[in-house]
Structure 1
């Protein structure tokens, strides 16, 4: 296993190490090319045997004789486990017979719990750690967690403010390590096309039996034009010649592969005037902008489009912080029947809420507070604070428990 590409410290590393100290099986799950193999190689070192199911011979052995393959292993890393879910019952049997901690370190580029061939549970035997593409905190080598800070009452500030075209460039690049290594939009586009082609040719068939698989690239491009909008499967499918049922199935596949995510609306049971339809978002803004054919802001129209991509970027950052935070958080959105919205609602396990609004502008206007105030009223005693992330460089109070904070505070230091 090669550790030469271990360039960025991953905040999930501590969780993987901790899991291996008291759990027989640890799964690192996330999209392809997010850095899973690099991370587990770094953690495992030379003490564990390494197998990748991207190797055709190893994959054949796993599918033909899963029990025999697992019997031959003492402690092992198994890469891309979703390609041979037949191994999971054999791993379960092996760890039931030998409960030593840290025996198997798995990686998967799909949500294993939705794979049709997984019939036996590893509940109580396996811990799952999500590894998404690099967060800006990891890229800038910052260790503070934005969500933990906010819910602790520490309103973040930007350590080194980033605004304007520099912020746009960060959004366009995204967080895939291989995409970040490409120096030009043209090269990032080439990488993105190859990435999507590889996913469709190699991974989709492993996790779902879908018709018209060749339509997936066009479907992804159609999705890129609707990021941040309410899910309308009839409209989506119509753009590429699919019915709404097939479009919904495609959406599920892409979500299981950690490329997109449906965001559910936040609702209080006592508050009935809330839209119930989920929103669509991409997890990586770099993949999104490349699919949408966006590379830079050169006109006012580009600035409007950029606002949608910026929302996806912020969602990805919040999601990454949620996967590595000390506390548990869930991300929703808010929209009532008056069409008053808040981009993101973050809720902790105690039910307290923080509203996050995203603005591509360098100023915040009175009307920008409307959604936050409506959400605060709906949340009542569970309301914690509202933060408007904007393209500025200082944190300012805008009223009781409402702040404007720089977008770059997402990877800054709390005061």
Structure 2
């Protein structure tokens, strides 16, 4: 039985409503955005039209249409290409209305839209024209470069779109879809495309490096954003994967990456890596916002596959090294929280002297401190108690033996753990 992500059902619901907004499927590479929209379009082929900026002209099927039969689409993926396919979608929408008794709009989906120069301005003009003419056509945009998508949306399409985030796969999804055990999920992470390779770790590691990490950096960042020092960006990413779950100041990063000369550059690159859902730098929780921003970031991967693929530990060796396995477990919790936090929920860590708490969730007046322990026997967390004395309104959660089981914690979104 084929597994479908929850976002697919949500998008279907939105597409069943009257046309009000552009629907945006936004998220990192290889998490199922294209599969979601293709499943929806394929369910009623005459009611949908899907095109991808990544497709080669010879690989695109245009179906039956007077326009497609009379002319060929422009070879260059630019304004003319987008306008051609938008008009093709309008024609198909008109044909759909003539042949159906359903009170449902046509669906036009464009994948990797951010790769078209000035895409948001073009879409704005076409969308506004459709609204003025009452064209009953839903538009779904997909993109794997969140930073560039957000820039275009905020500049040209403000008030015209609704976002549906598609994040990395969680433990419950990987278990249901591929039968991964908890330990396998902690090590191999949440990339569905690599799940069938985990029995051959060499192939799995090569796939993650060549088909996931490299395109994320080479295509989604270096080709789309002007980077002064690409090698520095790559080194920062690799450093973050090696030190995931550890506090690392920008000064220490400079010491580890000799080429770096300016902390501002590293901070900017870390922001880019966070926007592409690869690596985040968590700030220390404090009462004052300035102190939060000035704290040394604690690096965390968005998917533990990124960490495991760049390390020398095999699955068996990682489990045997309790210290390293503890970092993997903590990183899996951090990745889960990063991927399931909504826009209003902030994620931090906390440290005061020798006392620390792995994660702090904050949303309005709600506050939760989370400590992760991978030891097989219950361990007292002094850091949680010190944090609770300083912030008595906070909820305390110990993940691991003696507290919330890791599998249970990874199966519920971040907001479920807020007090």
TM-score, normalised via structure 1 length: 0.77
Q: Is the aligned partner of 1:9 residue 2:4?
A: yes
Q: Separation in 2 of the partners of 1:245 and 1:105?
A: 36
Contact 1:260 1:283 in 2 (8 A): yes
Contact 1:223 1:236 in 2 (8 A): no
Q: Secondary structure at the match of 1:179?
A: helix
User: Please, which moves more after superposition, 309-318 or 234-243?
Assistant: 234-243
Note the C-alpha offset of 1:37. 0.6
Q: Is the aligned partner of 1:211 residue 2:228?
A: yes
Q: Is the aligned partner of 1:376 residue 2:410?
A: no
Note the C-alpha offset of 1:97. 2.8
**Quick one: structure 1 residues 85 and 378, their matched pair in 2 at CA, closer, same or farther if it must change by over 3 Å?**
farther
Contact 1:259 1:284 in 2 (8 A): yes
Deviation digits for residues 85-131 of structure 1 (CA, Å, limit 9, x no counterpart): 52212222222233467621111112245766667332221111221
Matches within 5 A, 1:221-232: 221-232=238-249
Q: Separation in 2 of the partners of 1:262 and 1:252?
A: 8
Aligned position for 1:109: 144
Note the C-alpha offset of 1:375. 2.5
Deviation digits for residues 253-277 of structure 1 (CA, Å, limit 9, x no counterpart): 2222111122233333499899833
TM-score, normalised via structure 2 length: 0.76
**Quick one: structure 1 residues 42 and 333, their matched pair in 2 at CA, closer, same or farther if it must change by over 3 Å?**
same
Note the C-alpha offset of 1:82. 2.0
**Could you tell me which of 336, 349, 355 is aligned with 1:334?**
349
Contact 2:25 2:142 in 1 (8 A): yes
Note the C-alpha offset of 1:62. 3.8
Note the C-alpha offset of 1:346. 2.0
Contact 1:267 1:274 in 2 (8 A): no
Question: Tell me, which stretches of 5 or more residues in structure 1 are unaligned?
Answer: 1-5, 143-159, 397-403
Q: Separation in 2 of the partners of 1:185 and 1:358?
A: 27
* Structure 1 segments (4+ residues) deviating >6 Å: 114-119, 270-275
Q: Which has the higher contact order (CA 8 A, sep 6+)?
A: 1
Q: Separation in 2 of the partners of 1:216 and 1:11?
A: 33
Q: Secondary structure at the match of 1:181?
A: helix
Q: Secondary structure at the match of 1:34?
A: coil
Question: Tell me, which stretches of 5 or more residues in structure 2 are unaligned?
Answer: 58-72, 91-106
Q: Is the aligned partner of 1:263 residue 2:282?
A: yes
Deviation digits for residues 21-48 of structure 1 (CA, Å, limit 9, x no counterpart): 3542111111111111111212233222
**Quick one: structure 1 residues 334 and 118, their matched pair in 2 at CA, closer, same or farther if it must change by over 3 Å?**
closer
Contact 1:356 1:386 in 2 (8 A): yes
Q: Is the aligned partner of 1:351 residue 2:369?
A: no
Contact 1:261 1:280 in 2 (8 A): yes
Contact 1:30 1:108 in 2 (8 A): yes
Q: Is the aligned partner of 1:406 residue 2:418?
A: no
Compare the two structures and name the one with the higher helix fraction: 2
RMSD: 3.4
**Quick one: structure 1 residues 60 and 322, their matched pair in 2 at CA, closer, same or farther if it must change by over 3 Å?**
farther
Q: Separation in 2 of the partners of 1:217 and 1:96?
A: 40
Q: Is the aligned partner of 1:201 residue 2:218?
A: yes
Aligned position for 1:130: 165
Q: Secondary structure at the match of 1:98?
A: helix
**Could you tell me which of 268, 280, 286 is aligned with 1:249?**
268
